[in-house]
Amino acid sequence: MTRARQRGQGREFSARLGQARLEETAAITLADDVALLLRWLREDILPPRGPDLATRLALLDWLVDELHQRESQCAHRIAPVRKLLKNHRQELLAYVQRLDE
């Protein structure tokens, strides 16, 4: 920044730095949100011990919806996971029906 100011480019670099910090904050927030959602998937929806099938399906649908809400922020990473969970929800939780029986 000191060299940029000496060259008369301080404002330009300062604006770019400010934008980069905003993008950094958004990326960290998104990463934290997705990590929390995936932890819920791992610890609350998928383990053998847990709620019945209907509850798990409702939780999975909610999780898919939450991923969908964040998809525009990083579509190339979130979309494939969201689509997989949405399209294979019954197969993913098929073992729970047997546990319920």
Q: What is the pLDDT along the chain (101 residues), one digit of tens a residue?
A: 667 666 666 667 777 888 899 999 999 999 999 999 999 999 999 999 999 999 999 999 999 999 999 999 999 999 999 999 999 999 999 999 888 88
Angle (deg, nearest 10), helices 53-70 and 10-40: 170
pTM for this model (two decimals): 0.80
Q: What pLDDT score was predicted for residue 29?
A: 96
Domain enclosing residue 80, as ranges: 2-100
Q: What is each CA distance from 66 to 74, 82, 85, in whole angstroms?
A: 13, 9, 12
Q: What pLDDT score was predicted for residue 7?
A: 67
Q: What is each CA distance from 67 to 39, 43, 47, 75, in whole angstroms?
A: 13, 17, 20, 10
Q: What pLDDT score was predicted for residue 58?
A: 96
Q: What pLDDT score was predicted for residue 11?
A: 67
Q: What pLDDT score was predicted for residue 23?
A: 92
- As a whole number of Å, the end-to-end CA separation of the chain is 66
Q: How many domains does the chain have?
A: 1
